[in-house]
Amino acid sequence: MSKRLNMVLLTLVSLLLVVNCAKKGSITGGPKDETPPVFIKALPPNFSTNFDRNEIRIYFDEYIKLNDAQKQIIVSPPMDPKPTITPLGVPSKYIKIKFIDTLLENTTYSINFGESIVDNNEENPNSFFRYVFTTGDFLDSLSVKGTISDAYQKEPDSYITVALYEVDENYSDSLVYKTVPRYITNTLDSIGFSLHNLKEGKFKLVALKDVSNNYLYEPKQDKIGFYEEIITLPEDTAKVFNLNIFKEILDFKALKPKQVSKNEFLFPYEGLLDSMNVKILSDIPDDYDTQVFPDKEKDTLHYWFRPFFEADSLIFEVTNSKNYRDTLVARFKDQYKDSLKLISSVKSSLEPNKNFTFSANTPLDSINESLISLTDKDTLDVHFSITLDKAKNEAQLIFEKTESNAYNLKLLPDAIKDFIGNVNDTVQFNFRTKKITDYGTIFLTLQNVKAYPVIVQITNDKEEVVSEKIAKSQETLVFEYLNPSKYFIRVIFDQNNNGKWDTGNFLKGIQPEEMRYFLEPIELRANWEIKQTFTLEE
Question: Domain boundary residue among 210, 245, 280?
Answer: 245
Q: Give burial (CB, 10 Å; 0-12/13-18/19+) of 462.
A: exposed
Report pLDDT for 29: 52
Domain count, the chain: 5
User: Do residue 303 and residue 260 come from a single domain?
Assistant: yes
Report pLDDT for 188: 75
Report pLDDT for 31: 64
User: Do residue 257 and residue 293 come from a single domain?
Assistant: yes
CATH value at residue 200: 2.60.40.1120
Question: Domain boundary residue among 245, 264, 282?
Answer: 245
Report pLDDT for 376: 96
Report pLDDT for 244: 97
User: Do residue 147 and residue 239 come from a single domain?
Assistant: yes
CATH value at residue 308: 2.60.40.1220
User: Do residue 452 and residue 430 come from a single domain?
Assistant: no
Residue 21 domain flag: no
User: Do residue 471 and residue 449 come from a single domain?
Assistant: yes
Report pLDDT for 69: 87
Number of Cβ atoms within 10 Å of the Cβ of 397: 22
**189 secondary structure, DSSP code:** T
pLDDT tens, the chain, 538 aa long:
444 545 544 454 454 444 444 444 444 555 676 789 999 999 999 999 999 999 999 999 999 999 888 888 889 999 888 899 998 878 999 999 999 988 999 999 999 998 899 998 888 989 889 999 999 999 999 999 999 999 999 999 988 999 999 999 999 999 999 998 999 998 877 789 999 999 999 999 999 999 998 889 999 999 999 999 999 999 999 999 999 999 999 999 999 999 999 999 999 999 998 889 999 999 999 999 999 999 999 999 999 999 999 999 999 999 998 899 999 999 999 999 999 999 999 987 999 999 999 999 999 999 999 999 999 999 999 999 999 999 999 999 999 999 999 999 999 999 999 999 999 999 999 999 999 999 999 999 999 998 999 999 999 999 999 999 999 999 999 999 999 999 999 999 999 999 999 999 999 999 999 999 998 999 999 999 999 999 987 6
User: Do residue 235 and residue 155 come from a single domain?
Assistant: yes
User: Do residue 57 and residue 105 come from a single domain?
Assistant: yes
Residue 4 domain flag: no
User: Do residue 236 and residue 146 come from a single domain?
Assistant: yes
Residue 125 domain flag: yes
pTM: 0.83
Q: Which domain holds residue 71?
A: 39-134
Residue 392 domain flag: yes
**125 secondary structure, DSSP code:** B
User: Do residue 285 and residue 237 come from a single domain?
Assistant: no
CATH value at residue 494: 2.60.40.10
Distances from the Cα of 73 to the Cαs of 204, 245, 342, 485, in angstroms? 23, 22, 53, 41
Residue 175 domain flag: yes
Residue 13 domain flag: no
Residue 281 domain flag: yes
User: Do residue 125 and residue 175 come from a single domain?
Assistant: no
**Residue whose C-alpha is closest to residue 228's, from 504, 538, 496, 510:** 510
CATH value at residue 378: 2.60.40.3780
User: Do residue 385 and residue 478 come from a single domain?
Assistant: no
Question: Domain boundary residue among 245, 264, 297?
Answer: 245
Please name the residues in contact with 208: beta carbons below 8 A apart, sequence gap of 6 or more: 160, 161, 162, 163, 176, 215, 217, 222, 223, 224, 225, 245
User: Do residue 428 and residue 442 come from a single domain?
Assistant: no
Residue 316 domain flag: yes
Plot region of 527 (φ>0 → left; ψ -120 to 50 → alpha; else → beta): left
Residues facing 486 on adjacent strands: 523
